[in-house]
A and B are shown apart, each in its own frame.
Chain A
Amino acid sequence: MCNTVRSRRWSHLALVAALAAFLVLAAAACGSSPDESASPQPQVQADQLIVATTTSLNDSGLLEDVVLPAYKELFPDVTVKVVAVGSGEAMAMGAKGEADVLMVHSPDDEAQFMADGNGTLRLPVAYNYFVLVGPKDDPAGVATAKDATAAFTAIADTKSTFVSRGDESGTNKKELKIWESAGITPEGDWYLSTGQGMGETLRITSEKQGYTLTDLGTFLSQQDTLDLAVLSKETEDLKNIYNVIIVNQNKFPTVNAASSEQMAQVLVSKTGQAAIAEYGKDTYGQPLFYPYANSLGAY
């Protein structure tokens, strides 16, 4: 008898303690926000530039090997911080003024981002084509399909395994768009969603001997350890355009617009575009990006 009463009291105490701890934490989180509005004048940190970029652009090495050194040479006083996230997350950062410049590849979301007044300038800097990779024996026969939409239809018809990133990244958005244009709602045992990055998703695709949509750079950098082959051609519905977006300083006063513009200039300048066109030839025998000719002369 005595025991049950004791243990019940004990468990009540523990519950109350847990609730109290939670409330204290919540209150602490709550208390921190009002200070921001009370602070006098937000200052632009002119010697720091935060770049929110899609992972594929960062993982390819283009930023680290080409863009950042070129920028550093022209503007040695500015520290560039690269935050590599999905396009969706990069724009979410931009929409809160937490990044100064974005490099993304998710056209519909970008248009919305600009329409919401979150950016002042959006320029294409490079493009390439997504690739559909799959088992070397290609059971769904996608290699002969006329475009990605037809290939996706063949995969769904044969219920061949397809591995999706399912992480709302630019690549994931593109994949969903192709399913949409094929008039297919992908679901069932054959459609796997990993919620992870391109590298992990390629690993899983290789193990499961399925198909997946990937950017070329990530695939080429890993292909030695993957049991997969490129099965698509450079068709219009696989085109992948990378844009640079300057976040709106009028909306978010702390945005370093000056440095953002300089970064955009470096990207679309003649030398910048030439460097982009060369990138990847040494390592893979083929370029990873095409320069976006329309941008030439924008500055």
Chain B
Amino acid sequence: MQIIWDGIREAMRLIFGGDADVLQITLRSLWVSGLALLIAVLIGVPVGSLIALRHFRGRRLVVTTINTGMAAPPVVVGLLVALFLTRNGPLGQFRLLYSTWAMVIAQVIIAFPIVAGLSLAALQQLDLGLRQQIAALGAGRFQTFVAQLREIRIALLAAVMAAFGAVISEVGAVIMVGGNIKGQTQVLTGAIVQETRIGRFAIAIALAVILMALAFGTNLALTLIQQKDRHSA
């Protein structure tokens, strides 16, 4: 029991004392997962919308693929990305393996199907008549699209939350393609695995507390936005 209390006390000191390593690892986690999320949203929402609003051959197959991707195990994504980026792999000449870029790529692949799949599902639930109504009011194609996104903004925020939760807490892919290199590609999850394995529990607890706080804080912020106009309507 002593080890847990000591760990928690030391963890608080590391967090509030502004330990340089802890800060650096935290910022890298936010940067990698934040960038991956941004890219996933920028691609995922338009792709999800296209699939939801258009009819084309092979649509069901595409939807099934995206839904499968939503449940893709990070280690499988890690394996795929590693195979492509390895020195002798198809994209080997870019020398990206074991860099933060490789980690961003892997996390985009994890987050994209979640964003695309959830926005697709939300758009499909929209009343067909609504689209015609908006169009009838004289809105252009792009305006119609934006108006529909406004209608599903709560579902979109849920998609963003789900995707962020998936990538910030993911450890398999980031270790496989990032290499957990101290000071270069080490993020919160990988550092927690390593410190626990070595038995340095205090720093592991500190990093775990930060990871939880990040997940909690982000979700709290998004939830507050999401619920903002719930009662004012």
List chain A positions with a Cβ less than 8 A from chain B: 2-3, 6-7, 10-11, 14, 18, 26, 29-30, 33, 85-86, 88-89, 92, 166-168, 192-196, 200, 203-204, 206-208, 227
Question: Are B179 and A194 in contact, CB atoms less than 8 angstroms apart?
Answer: yes
- A208: chain B residues at CB < 8 Å are 98
Q: Contacting chain A: which of B34-42, B55-63, B129-137, B180-188?
A: B180-188
Interface bracket on B: 20 to 34
Question: Are B220 and A166 in contact, CB atoms less than 8 angstroms apart?
Answer: no
Contact of A11 among B1, B8, B220 (CB under 8 A): B220
Known contacts being A88-B198, A192-B182, is A2 close to B4, with CB within 8 Å? no
Contact with A along B222-233 (1 / 0, CB 8 A): 001001110110
Question: Are A29 and B1 in contact, CB atoms less than 8 angstroms apart?
Answer: yes
Name the CB-closest residue of B to A209.
B87
Question: Are B186 and A11 in contact, CB atoms less than 8 angstroms apart?
Answer: no
Q: How far is the CA of A89 from the CA of B195 in the complex (A)?
A: 12
Question: Are A166 and B231 in contact, CB atoms less than 8 angstroms apart?
Answer: no
- B194: chain A residues at CB < 8 Å are 167, 195-196
Q: How far is the CA of A203 from the CA of B186 in the complex (A)?
A: 16
Name the CB-closest residue of B to A208.
B98
Q: How many A-B residue pairs have CB under 8 A?
A: 71
Known contacts being A18-B216, A26-B4, is A196 close to B228, with CB within 8 Å? no
Known: A89-B198, A195-B191. 19 other contacts (CB 8 A): A6-B231, A7-B224, A7-B227, A10-B227, A11-B224, A26-B8, A29-B4, A86-B197, A86-B198, A88-B199, A193-B181, A194-B179, A194-B182, A195-B194, A196-B179, A204-B179, A204-B181, A207-B86, A207-B98
Q: How far is the CA of A28 from the CA of B75 in the complex (A)?
A: 33
- B180: chain A residues at CB < 8 Å are 194-196
Shortest distance from the beta carbon of A252 to any chain B beta carbon, whole Å: 18
Question: Are A207 and B227 in contact, CB atoms less than 8 angstroms apart?
Answer: no
The 8 A-B residue pairs with the shortest CB-CB distance in the complex, in nearest-first order = A195-B194, A193-B182, A204-B179, A30-B1, A192-B181, A33-B1, A207-B97, A7-B224
Shortest distance from the beta carbon of B209 to any chain A beta carbon, whole Å: 9
Name the CB-closest residue of B to A27.
B1
Contact with A along B74-102 (1 / 0, CB 8 A): 00000000000011000000000110000
